[in-house]
Structure 1
Amino acid sequence: MSVTIEQVKCACGDCVCVVSVEKGVKRNGRIYCGESCAEHHTSGAGCEHAGCTCHG
């Protein structure tokens, strides 16, 4: 039996977003919802998804 994962929680610890494995931003073996999270919010910007207040 095999299981296919299609969506995961963004790898950013403060982020509440769920992202498609196919469309997520991949960095260092982890999947993020967008560039801000993938870059660990170095610019101070959040992920900008509705309802999420992450800023790293």
Structure 2
Amino acid sequence: MTTTSQCACLKCTCQVEEAKAVVVGGKVFCSEACSTGHLNHEPCHGAGSCGCSCGD
């Protein structure tokens, strides 16, 4: 059974498998970009949209 959580990034709509998550300070993120707050306004999963407004 796979456990998923909502990414803790405020603009992110991703559900992330806990086994693949980036965990920082006890918060679960779907990517390194989300975990660092999109410092350079980069999208959370590189090229292409995954339905999120991250990096906008």
- The structure number with the bigger radius of gyration is 1
Q: Deviations over 1:1-56 (max 9, x none)?
A: xxxx8100000011000001111001010010000000110111021352212127
- Distance (Å, rounded) in 1 between the aligned partners of 2:35 and 2:51: 18
Q: Percent identity?
A: 33
Is 2:21 the partner of 1:18?
A: no
More helix by share: 2
Q: How much is the aligned-residue C-alpha RMSD, in angstroms?
A: 2.1
- Distance (Å, rounded) in 2 between the aligned partners of 1:53 and 1:14: 6
4+ runs of 1 displaced by more than 6 Å? none
Is 2:50 the partner of 1:42?
A: no
- Please report the TM-score for the alignment, with normalisation by the length of structure 2: 0.80
- Distance (Å, rounded) in 2 between the aligned partners of 1:14 and 1:53: 6
List alignment gaps of at least 5 residues for structure 1: none
List alignment gaps of at least 5 residues for structure 2: none
In structure 1, what is the equivalent of residue 28 of structure 2?
31
Name the aligned partner's letter for residue 12 of structure 2: C
